[in-house]
Amino acid sequence: MAVKPFPILFIGPSRIGDAVLASGLIRKLADEAPGARFTIVVGPAAAPLFTEVPGLDALIVMEKKKGSGHWISLWNKVRGKHWSLVVDMRGSAIAGFLRRDRRSVHRKNHGEPVHKVIEAARLLTLEDDPPAPFLYTSDEIETRAAELVGEGGPILAMGPAANWLGKTWPIERFARVAIELLDADGPMAGGRLMILGGPDDARYVEPLARTLPRDRLIDLTGQVDLLTAYAALKRARLFVGNDSGLMHLAAAAGIPTIGLFGPSDDRRYAPWGPDTRVVRGPREFEQFRAIDPGLNQTIGHMMDLPVDTVVEAARELLAATA
């Protein structure tokens, strides 16, 4: 007997990191809703994460515009269908005007900060067992990633860039960590360095790329899409990076992940999973916000995080996941 289609409209986040942290909801629905068919609405940066979702009918890229023009455009694209479920992570009013059987709409939390994975899980009353982030790939993507990574020693993956100077650890300190971990006396002796980032990060990562010979370097900066980066990360032994979308990709890939935090709230954005660690300097998030209330000043907030602290955390996590 044919399964009746179960059309789901999923309005997700616009940013890469938030979209990764919410991705477990889509897997949960794909696994447990018979006949699930997805129409996924996300911002342009996050859209490539969802191209391989099973049962994907449409991937709608919604660019934020002044006023309500983007919502009117979306309304015109989705109003003609009767939806079995509308999941709206942006907390808009659109679900109230659509023909649907059920709706789950994000509401702002005015209490203590809650991790984004738990916040997403609450939409489907799953906060007691929140779905871990998960992304779908294809055989072609996995094969491409395997070709890019190649054969060799254990891989130290690094994401040294971020979307704001304030939460970017100095590139020369990433280089020192790479040397400490990968040299002959390090815990990843004989290993290789994988660098990831966007097209705009290529010049920034050059000092890090120069730390190892070319035959021990896998520089994917600006060279791969998000899902290929995710597939490549699955093959790494350890990730070290700033609070960024790449950090969340690494944790979702299931590899030991160290997130470097300063003016970011790790209560909400810590990498998710048992083999992850948050490392910060002597200051907590609220201390950064006290001197930079808008969290937008051109200040190197991460300067007080020492190299030794990161190296020690990496050694401990490698030992714990051996």
Average pLDDT rounded to a whole number, residues 219-228: 97
Domain boundaries, the chain: 6-124, 140-320
> Rounded to whole angstroms, what are the CA distances from 69 to 45, 62, 147, 307?
19, 10, 43, 47
Domain 140-320 sits in CATH at 3.40.50.2000
Is 309 in a helix, a strand, or coil? helix
pLDDT number for residue 1: 62
Residue range 121-150, pLDDT digits in tens: 999 999 999 999 999 999 999 999 999 999
Q: What pTM, to 2 d.p., does this model score?
A: 0.95
Per the CB < 8 A criterion, the answer to whether 171 and 300 are in contact is no
Cα angle: 9, vertex 10, 15; to 5 degrees = 150
pLDDT number for residue 233: 98
Asked if pLDDT for residue 161 goes beyond 90, the answer is yes
pLDDT number for residue 252: 98
Per the CB < 8 A criterion, the answer to whether 201 and 221 are in contact is yes
Asked if pLDDT for residue 9 goes beyond 90, the answer is yes
The H-assigned helical ranges of 104-244 are 116-121, 139-149, 171-182, 206-209, 226-233
Pairwise CA distance, residues 284 & 144, whole Å? 40
Is 5 in a helix, a strand, or coil? coil
Is 218 in a helix, a strand, or coil? strand
Q: Please state, rounded to an integer, the average pLDDT across all residues of the chain.
A: 95
Paired residues of 153 in beta bridges: none
Asked if pLDDT for residue 204 goes beyond 70, the answer is yes
- When pLDDT is cut at 50, 70 and 90, the band that residue 67 belongs to is low
**Which fold does the domain 6-124 belong to in CATH?**
Rossmann fold (3.40.50)
pLDDT number for residue 111: 82
pLDDT number for residue 3: 86
Q: Are 6-124 and 140-320 in the same CATH fold?
A: yes
- When pLDDT is cut at 50, 70 and 90, the band that residue 69 belongs to is confident
* Higher pLDDT among residues 281 and 107, named by residue: 281
